[in-house]
């Protein structure tokens, strides 16, 4: 049933696309077939993989740093309340503000390099990763802490056995949110900087009026982020089996 | 089982300062009594009279404002590490860790004691089996009924083989049949293991049914009456209930309780 629905929705989507390509909305709008062959070509020539590798490098750098710094810092914010109360103001600001406005500043400080797109990725996702870890600790049931203390738990045991597992669902949700924000940051950065990666491929094909190639690259980017998010969701499902 | 020791409560007083208003709340006015090793004691008192606060100090989670609780000459709040494994509590809600199986929940207290893993598993299995949950070792709390969850919590408390067992309204939220069954098991196991048991309860029937002794707390906690049940016969139950009820209502000991 689900599979049938999914197939049907895909078919409808492709038909709509085909229709959009035939109607003269824009005369450069490529058909699904043209996009698909362009995609195969791009994969075959290695250009796409090369670009993906470069882009994923910035993504891994930025997102990895966000996880490695954001999760522990969020946990500290939750455990040491005064730190949490001060830090959350800045994080709330970072979440509310249009972060993309910071990009020129980042380029100014880091130049146009993989590092600067990694920094932009970091700025896009770190606040979310951090706030979720913080929220996870804050949502913890104090009764469980009291219970563990009543069995003589030390502070270390309390953290490892109660605080961390209680916060885990929120932390993992934060990683998923953070990863989708990281892809957003990556694409925004690369479209603006565009000396490398998938962003460059998109901009290059656009300037050469190779709209099928451009579309193929966009499609590929979407598939890439979809796959990464699905992988993370799987990991989440496995770690949170007890909630099923 | 850790060595039996009396619980000595002397001049105990606890005043909380409310975090929001800064107002002082007297949770325990003044308590003086002694519980001998192996006794089974029920504590009754109005809601908010400081019963749970008394337990918090007994467990070592809170320090008294004045006075002391000593167990074998040492204070739980002053010597937290020294009391690990000597007192265990069954709470009102089961307070199981939802991400752990029944077996791993029972293991929790044994992990704190630093027992070897094989021994933790062995002992947890044993206690779950004894409480009739031998077939549910790997079940998660949400897969168990309320009564079964409370059995896991009881197993968790007994597994550390403490000298003192506490139950804070542990059976009140269950249906009557399950509640009395579990309460009898709890008390029976405590007796069989030579442990001291202290149960907080709202049900006077329960208090009269279980123990050697009922401590009637006023509000804020003072010891209004210390009822030794061996002084009463089976046909005194109704009288006892009425007298304790009257004591709780008037906040003054009912003359029928004075022998
Ligand atoms: N951590 C705390 N901070 C401030 N006030 C507290 C705290 N813990 C308890 N109190 C107050 O102390 C008083 C006694 O509370 P306690 O929980 O000991 O009552 P209780 O006898 O267990 O009540 P119940 O039968 O409803 O469980 C209450 O007025 C409560 O508001
Ligand atoms: Mg209470």
ipTM entry: 0.90
Measured from the Cβ of residue B225, the count of other Cβ atoms closer than 10 Å reads 19
Instruction: Give the 3-state secondary structure of residue B219.
Output: coil
Q: What mean pLDDT is predicted for residues A58-66?
A: 95
Among candidate residues A150, A143, A59, the one with its CA nearest the CA of residue B97: A143
Distance from CA of B106 to the nearest CA of A (A): 11
Confidence band, pLDDT 50/70/90 cuts, at residue A12: confident
For domain A53-243, give the CATH superfamily: MetI-like (1.10.3720.10)
Q: What CATH architecture is B7-86+162-257?
A: 3-Layer(aba) Sandwich (3.40)
On average, the pLDDT of chain A sits at: 88
Do B61 and A149 lie within an 8 Å CB cutoff? yes
Residue B208: burial class (beta carbons within 10 Å; 0-12, 13-18, 19+): buried
Mean pLDDT by 10 residues, chain B (259 residues): 79 91 92 94 94 95 94 90 92 92 96 94 95 94 93 95 94 85 90 93 86 90 90 84 91 82
**Is the pLDDT confidence value at A27 over 70?**
no
What confidence score (pLDDT) does residue A44 get? 85
**Is the pLDDT confidence value at A24 over 70?**
no
Confidence band, pLDDT 50/70/90 cuts, at residue A206: confident
Rounded Cα gap, residues A121 and A178, in angstroms: 10
* Closest-lying ligand 1 atom to the alpha carbon of residue B92: 27
CA angle A48, A53, A55 (to 5 degrees): 95
Measured from the Cβ of residue A118, the count of other Cβ atoms closer than 10 Å reads 26
Instruction: Name the H helices within chain A.
Output: 2-22, 32-45, 47-79, 81-96, 103-110, 114-138, 142-150, 155-158, 164-193, 197-207, 211-239
Q: What mean pLDDT is predicted for residues A128-146?
A: 94
Distance from CA of B59 to the nearest CA of A (A): 6
Cα(B97) to ligand 2 centroid in Å equals: 21
- Give the pairing type, strands B7-17 and B24-35: antiparallel
Specify the DSSP element, H or E, that contains B31. Answer: strand B24-35
Hey, is the C-beta of B24 within 8 angstroms of any chain A C-beta?
no
Out of A143, A146, A157, whose CB is closest to B112?
A: A157
Hey, is the C-beta of A145 within 8 angstroms of any chain B C-beta?
no
Question: A with B: how many residue pairs have Cβ under 8 Å apart?
Answer: 53
Length of chain A: 244
Rounded Cα gap, residues B213 and A214, in angstroms: 84
Out of A143, A144, A153, whose CB is closest to B112?
A: A153
Rounded Cα gap, residues B59 and A113, in angstroms: 59
B47 lines ligand 1 (CB under 6 A): yes
B18 lines ligand 1 (CB under 6 A): yes
**Is the pLDDT confidence value at A244 over 80?**
no
Instruction: Give the 3-state secondary structure of residue B172.
Output: coil
**Is the pLDDT confidence value at A147 over 60?**
yes
Contacts with B82 (C-beta within 8 Å, 6 or more apart), sequence order:
B74
Exposure string over A145-166, b if 16+ CB within 10 A, otherwise e? bbbbbbbbbeeebbeebbbbbb
- Give the pairing type, strands B164-168 and B24-35: unpaired
* Closest-lying ligand 1 atom to the alpha carbon of residue B217: 21
Hey, is the C-beta of B143 within 8 angstroms of any chain A C-beta?
no
Residue ranges of B 107-136 with Cβ closer than 8 A to chain A? 108-109, 111-113
> What would the pLDDT profile of A152-203 be if each residue is shown by its tens digit?
999 999 999 999 999 999 999 999 999 999 999 988 888 887 677 888 888 8
Query: Token digits for A23?
Result: 């109607």
Instruction: Give the 3-state secondary structure of residue B70.
Output: strand
Do A151 and B108 lie within an 8 Å CB cutoff? yes
On whether the CB atoms of residues A75 and A133 are closer than 8 A, the answer is yes
Hey, is the C-beta of B84 within 8 angstroms of any chain A C-beta?
yes
Mutate to test the interface with B, among A151, A153, A244 (most CBs of B within 10 A): A151
B43 lines ligand 1 (CB under 6 A): no
CA angle A132, A134, A137 (to 5 degrees): 110
Instruction: Give the 3-state secondary structure of residue A237.
Output: helix
What confidence score (pLDDT) does residue B48 get? 92
Residue ranges of B 36-65 with Cβ closer than 8 A to chain A? 59, 61
Rounded Cα gap, residues A219 and A52, in angstroms: 12
Rounded Cα gap, residues A57 and A53, in angstroms: 6
CA angle A59, A63, A68 (to 5 degrees): 145
Which one of A74-83, A98-107, A110-119 scores highest in mean pLDDT? A74-83
Rounded Cα gap, residues B187 and A125, in angstroms: 55
The model's pTM: 0.85
Q: Which residues of A touch B85 (CB under 8 A)?
A: 152
Cα(B24) to ligand 1 centroid in Å equals: 12
């Amino acid at each position: 049933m689900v599979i049938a629905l999914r197939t049907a929705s895909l078919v409808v989507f492709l038909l709509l696309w085909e229709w959009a390509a035939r109607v003269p909305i824009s005369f450069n709008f490529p058909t699904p077939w043209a996009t698909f062959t362009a995609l195969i070509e791009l994969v075959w020539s290695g250009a796409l993989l090369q670009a993906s590798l470069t882009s994923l490098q910035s993504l891994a750098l930025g997102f990895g740093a966000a996880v490695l710094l954001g999760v522990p810092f969020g946990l500290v914010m939750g455990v040491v309340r005064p730190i949490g109360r001060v830090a959350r103001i800045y994080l709330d600001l970072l979440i509310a503000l249009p972060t993309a406005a910071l990009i020129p500043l980042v380029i100014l400080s880091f130049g146009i390099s993989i590092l600067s797109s990694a920094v932009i990725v970091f700025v896009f996702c770190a606040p979310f990763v951090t706030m979720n870890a913080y929220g996870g600790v804050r949502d913890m049931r104090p009764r469980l802490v009291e219970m563990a203390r009543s069995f003589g738990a030390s502070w270390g045991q309390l953290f490892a056995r109660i605080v961390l597992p209680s916060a885990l669902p929120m932390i993992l949700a934060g990683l998923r949110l953070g990863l989708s924000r990281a892809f957003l940051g990556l694409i925004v950065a690369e479209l603006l900087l565009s000396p490398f990666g998938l962003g460059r491929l998109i901009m290059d094909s656009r300037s050469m009026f190779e709209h099928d190639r451009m579309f193929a690259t966009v499609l590929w980017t979407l598939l890439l982020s979809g796959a990464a998010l699905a992988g993370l969701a799987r990991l989440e499902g496995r770690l949170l089996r007890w909630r099923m | 089982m850790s060595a039996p020791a009396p619980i000595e409560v002397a001049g105990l007083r606890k005043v909380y300062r409310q975090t929001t208003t800064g107002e002082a709340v007297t949770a325990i006015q003044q308590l003086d009594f002694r519980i001998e090793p192996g006794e089974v004691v029920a504590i009754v008192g109005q809601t908010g009279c400081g019963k749970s606060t008394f337990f918090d100090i007994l467990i070592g989670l809170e320090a008294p404002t004045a006075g002391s609780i000593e167990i074998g000459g040492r204070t739980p709040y002053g010597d937290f590490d020294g009391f690990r494994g000597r007192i265990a509590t069954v709470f009102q809600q089961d307070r199981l860790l939802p991400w752990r199986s029944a077996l791993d929940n029972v293991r929790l207290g044994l992990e704190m004691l630093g027992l070897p893993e094989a021994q933790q598993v062995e002992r947890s299995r044993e206690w779950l089996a004894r409480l009739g949950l031998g077939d549910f070792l790997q079940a998660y709390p949400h897969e168990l009924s309320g009564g079964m969850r409370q059995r896991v919590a009881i197993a968790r408390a007994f597994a550390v083989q403490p000298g003192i067992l506490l139950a804070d309204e542990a059976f009140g939220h269950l249906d009557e049949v399950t509640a009395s069954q579990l309460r009898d098991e709890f008390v029976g196991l405590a007796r069989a293991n030579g442990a001291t048991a202290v149960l907080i309860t709202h049900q006077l029937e329960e208090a009269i049914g279980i123990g050697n002794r009922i401590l009637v707390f006023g509000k804020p906690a003072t010891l209004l009456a210390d009822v030794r049940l061996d002084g009463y016969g089976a046909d005194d139950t109704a009288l006892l209930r009425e007298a304790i009820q009257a004591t709780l209502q008037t906040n003054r000991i009912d003359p029928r309780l004075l022998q």
